[in-house]
Amino acid sequence: MKYEVLVKRNVTKKIRSIPKPYIAKVYAAFKELAKHPRPSGSKKLKGKTETYRLRIGIYRIIYTIDDVVRIVHIERLLHRQEGYRSKK
């Protein structure tokens, strides 16, 4: 069964600012996450429950999985030089 992928508004805005070759790769990754929310290459982040990271070239997709309702929440899209820690 497929998962529903929900993308936060800040991620949608960030996608507009990245180079065009990566836009298609990011959307393809979203579609793949709907089929397989824990693909090979994804890594669970320490200290966070059900939060994962997926590499897409020089970008990282940070997402959470809710297996009960079968939803993948795309939380952040980061350049690899940006930090993973939340801003306070």
Residue 59 lies in a domain: yes
Global pTM reads 0.88
Residue 87 lies in a domain: no
Residue 84 lies in a domain: no
What domain range includes position 14? 4-79
The CATH number assigned to the domain holding 68 equals: 3.30.2310.20
Residue 13 lies in a domain: yes
The count of domains in the chain is: 1
Stretch 71-78: mean pLDDT, rounded? 96
d(C-alpha 86, C-alpha 37), whole Å: 22
Residue 45 lies in a domain: yes
d(C-alpha 3, C-alpha 44), whole Å: 18
Instruction: Read off the pLDDT of residues 8-45 as tens digits, 9 standing for 90 and up.
Output: 999 999 999 999 999 999 999 999 999 999 999 999 99
Stretch 52-63: mean pLDDT, rounded? 95
